[in-house]
C-alpha cells in the first residue's frame, strides 16, 4: 500500500479520482502519501486489515466525496483534519476500534455529507452519520442541522444527551444512542423532533421520567429504552393520537403505576416489553384488542396481581408470553392451548431484539427472535391443573414453575415435539412422570424437582441424557437412576409350578416413567 500510493503521488498532473481497494487482504498502516492524491473523489478501503489510525494528511483531499473505511482493524483517534473534507458526501468508519473523543471540530464542517443507502449513494440534502461500534469516549457531539440519522450506539460516550438536540438537529428521523454510558434525563427538546421515527436509548444510565411529549411525535414506531434507571409512570400520550407505534420496550427500569389505557390505541404494536419494573394493577383485558398484531407480550418481574385474563387468548399472533415473577393468582386459562401462532407452521420474519429467559438464564435474541416460541408463567401464585397445550406444536419453552399447581403432569405434553425447555419445579404435582415425555427428542432442559411425583424415573430415549439428580430431587416417592433412591424390584424367578412370584412382601410395583431436563432453542423450518 505504501509503495503503491507513493508511486501515484509522484505522478505529475495525477488526475486519479477513484481508488477502490475494498475487500482484499491489505494490511499495515495507511500512508501519509494518501494526502498527495489531491484530485481523489472516491477512496474505498473497507473490508481489509488495515491497522493504526487515519493519517493527518487525509485533510488535504479537498475533493474527496466518498470515504469508506469500515470493517478493518483501525485503532487510535480520528484526526481533526477529517473535518476539513467539506466536499465529503459519504463517510463510513464503523466496525473498527476507534478511541478518543469526537468533537464538533471533527464533524461540524462536513456540510456536504449526504444520505447513505444500501449499495448506492443517494444525493439528498440530509445527512446520515454512522460512527457506531467503536470505542469513542467523551460527550456526544452536536452535528449540523441537516442531519437526519444520528447513530452513535455501541461506544463509550458519557455525560448527558445534549439538552438542545431537538433544536440543533430538528430534522432527525432516526436516533440510536444505545450501549453507551450516557446519564442525566431525556431532553425535553426531543419533543420538537416532529419527524422522528425511531428512538433507541437502551443500555445507558438515564434517569428521571419519560417525557410526556409524544403528542408532538405522531409517526414514531420504535421506542426502545430498556436497561436504564428511568422512573415515574408510563406517559399517557403514547399512542394517544397515533397508532403507528410498533415496538415499545421499557423493560429493566424503575417505572411504576398501571399500564395506561392509552396503549389500547396502539393497534399495530407487535412488541410490548414492560418487564423488570415496578408496575402494578391487574393485567388489562383490553390487551386482547391487539389480536392481529401483538407478537410478544413481556410483563415479567413486576407487581401485577389478579387472574390472567382469558382475553389474552385472542392474541392470535402471539409467540412469546412472559408473565413470570408477579403476584398472579387463579388458574392458567385453558384457552392458551389455542394460541394459533404457536400451532401454525407459518412464520413471520421481522426485526427486533429481546432477552428471553431459558435454561435458567436470560439470552439476547436478535436475528432469530421470530423463531422463539415461549410461555413463561413461573414464580406466581397460580393454582389448579396444568392445561392441555397439545396444539402448540411450535412451543419450545414452557416454564410454569414455582406456583401452586396440582394434579398430574398431562400426558399431552409429549405431543409438543419441539419442546426444548420444560420447567415444572416447585409445585404440588403428583403421579408418575408420563412416558410420553421420552419422545421429546429436542428436550434439553428439564426440571421436575420439589413436587409430589412418584414411581420410577423413565430411562429410555431422551431421558438417557437427562441424568442430573437435581432434576428430580424433592420428590420423596420418585425412585431410580439418577437418584440414590432405588426402586423395589419385582421378583421374576419361577416358582415350583413355573409361575412367577411377587416379591417377599407381596407388593406389585408399577413400572414408572421417564424424566428429563429442559432448554430453549429454535427449529429452522
Q: CA 135 to CA 63: how far, in whole Å?
A: 28
Confidence grade of residue 491 (pLDDT, cut at 50, 70, 90): very low
| Residue-level pLDDT at 152 | 82
| Residue-level pLDDT at 422 | 95
1-94 and 406-492+500-525 in the same fold:
yes
CATH homologous superfamily, domain 1-94: Ribonuclease Inhibitor (3.80.10.10)
| Residue-level pLDDT at 345 | 75
The tens digit of pLDDT for each residue in 428-476 reads: 999 999 999 999 999 999 999 999 999 999 988 888 888 899 999 999 9
Mean pLDDT of 378-406: 96
CB 182 within 8 A of CB 205: yes
Calculate the average pLDDT of the chain: 83
CA torsion sign, 163 to 169 to 173 to 178? Answer: negative
Name beta bridge partners: 160: 183
Q: Which residues neighbour 351 within 8 Å (Cβ) at sequence distance 6 or greater? A: none
The helix or strand, by DSSP H or E, that contains position 222, with its residue range, turns out to be strand 222-224
Kindly report the CA angle at 412 between 406 and 417, in degrees rounded to 5? 125
The tens digit of pLDDT for each residue in 108-138 reads: 677 676 543 222 222 233 445 557 555 666 7
Class of domain 406-492+500-525: alpha beta
Confidence grade of residue 156 (pLDDT, cut at 50, 70, 90): confident
In 3-state terms, what secondary structure has residue 96? coil
Three-state SS string across 455-520, please?
EECCCCHHHHCCCCHHHCCCCCEEECCCCCCCCCCCCCCECCCCCECCCCCCCCCCCCCCCCCECC
Q: CA 401 to CA 378: how far, in whole Å?
A: 5
Query: How far, rounded to the nearest angstrom, does the alpha carbon of residue 487 sit from its chain's CA centroid?
Result: 45
The tens digit of pLDDT for each residue in 73-109 reads: 888 778 888 888 888 888 888 788 777 666 666 766 7
Q: CA 518 to CA 399: how far, in whole Å?
A: 9
Backbone angles phi, psi at 337, to 5 degrees: -70, -5
Q: Supply the DSSP string of 315-326, one letter for each residue.
A: -TT--EEE--SS
486519479: which residue's cell?
A: 16
Cell of 107: 464533524
- Cα end-to-end span (Å), the chain: 46
Domain parsing of the chain, residue ranges:
1-94, 406-492+500-525
Say which range, 26-30, 144-148, 353-357, has the weakest mean pLDDT: 144-148
| Residue-level pLDDT at 510 | 35
Amino acid at each position: 500500500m505504501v509503495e503503491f500510493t507513493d508511486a501515484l503521488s509522484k505522478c505529475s498532473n495525477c488526475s486519479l479520482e477513484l481508488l477502490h481497494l475494498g475487500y482484499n487482504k491489505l494490511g499495515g498502516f495507511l500512508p501519509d502519501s494518501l494526502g498527495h492524491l489531491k484530485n481523489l473523489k472516491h477512496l474505498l478501503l473497507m473490508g481489509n486489515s488495515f491497522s493504526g489510525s487515519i493519517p493527518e494528511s487525509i485533510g488535504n483531499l479537498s475533493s474527496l466525496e466518498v470515504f469508506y473505511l469500515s470493517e478493518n482493524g483501525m485503532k487510535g483517534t480520528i484526526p481533526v483534519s477529517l473535518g476539513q473534507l467539506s466536499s465529503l458526501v459519504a463517510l463510513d468508519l464503523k466496525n473498527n476500534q476507534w478511541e478518543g473523543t469526537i468533537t464538533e471540530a471533527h464533524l461540524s464542517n462536513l456540510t456536504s455529507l449526504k444520505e447513505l443507502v444500501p449499495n448506492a449513494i443517494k444525493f439528498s440534502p440530509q445527512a446520515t452519520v454512522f460512527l457506531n461500534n467503536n470505542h469513542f469516549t467523551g460527550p456526544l457531539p452536536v452535528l449540523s442541522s441537516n442531519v437526519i440519522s444520528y447513530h452513535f450506539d455501541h461506544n463509550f460516550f458519557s455525560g448527558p444527551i445534549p439538552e438542545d438536540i431537538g433544536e440543533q438537529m430538528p430534522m432527525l428521523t432516526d436516533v440510536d444512542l444505545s450501549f453507551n454510558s450516557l446519564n442525566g434525563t431525556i431532553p425535553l427538546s426531543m419533543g420538537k423532533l416532529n419527524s422522528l421515527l425511531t428512538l433507541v436509548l437502551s443500555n445507558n444510565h438515564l434517569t428521571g421520567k419519560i417525557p410526556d411529549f409524544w403528542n408532538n411525535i405522531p409517526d414514531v414506531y420504535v421506542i426502545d429504552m430498556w436497561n436504564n434507571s428511568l422512573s415515574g409512570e408510563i406517559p399517557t400520550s403514547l399512542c394517544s393520537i397515533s397508532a403507528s407505534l410498533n415496538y415499545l420496550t421499557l423493560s429493566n427500569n424503575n417505572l411504576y403505576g398501571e399500564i395506561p389505557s392509552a396503549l389500547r390505541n396502539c393497534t399495530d404494536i407487535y412488541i410490548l416489553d414492560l418487564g423488570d419494573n415496578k408496575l402494578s394493577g391487574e393485567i388489562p383485558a383490553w390487551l386482547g384488542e391487539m389480536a392481529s398484531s401483538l407478537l410478544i407480550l413481556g410483563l415479567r418481574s413486576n407487581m401485577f396481581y389478579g387472574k390472567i385474563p382469558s382475553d389474552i387468548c385472542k392474541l392470535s399472533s402471539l409467540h412469546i408470553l412472559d408473565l413470570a415473577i408477579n403476584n398472579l393468582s387463579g388458574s392458567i386459562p385453558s384457552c392458551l392451548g389455542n394460541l394459533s401462532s404457536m400451532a401454525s407452521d407459518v412464520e413471520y420474519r421481522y426485526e427486533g431484539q429481546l432477552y428471553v429467559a431459558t435454561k435458567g438464564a436470560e439470552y439476547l435474541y436478535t436475528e432469530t427472535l421470530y423463531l422463539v416460541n415461549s410461555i413463561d408463567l413461573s414464580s406466581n401464585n397460580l393454582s389448579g391443573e396444568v392445561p392441555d397445550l397439545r396444539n402448540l406444536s411450535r412451543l419450545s419453552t414452557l416454564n410454569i414453575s414455582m406456583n401452586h399447581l396440582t394434579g398430574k403432569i398431562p400426558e399431552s405434553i409429549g405431543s409438543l415435539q419441539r419442546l426444548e425447555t420444560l420447567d415444572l419445579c416447585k409445585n404440588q404435582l403428583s403421579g408418575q412422570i408420563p412416558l410420553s415425555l421420552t419422545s421429546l427428542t429436542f428436550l434439553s432442559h428439564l426440571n421436575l424437582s420439589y413436587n409430589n411425583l412418584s414411581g420410577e424415573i423413565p430411562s429410555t430415549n431422551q431421558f438417557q441424557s437427562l441424568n442430573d439428580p437435581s432434576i428430580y430431587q424433592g420428590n420423596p416417592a420418585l425412585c431410580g437412576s439418577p437418584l440414590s433412591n432405588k426402586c423395589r424390584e419385582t421378583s421374576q424367578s419361577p416358582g415350583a409350578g413355573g409361575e412367577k412370584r411377587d416379591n417377599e412382601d407381596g407388593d406389585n410395583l408399577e413400572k414408572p416413567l421417564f424424566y428429563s431436563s429442559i432448554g430453549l432453542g429454535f427449529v429452522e423450518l
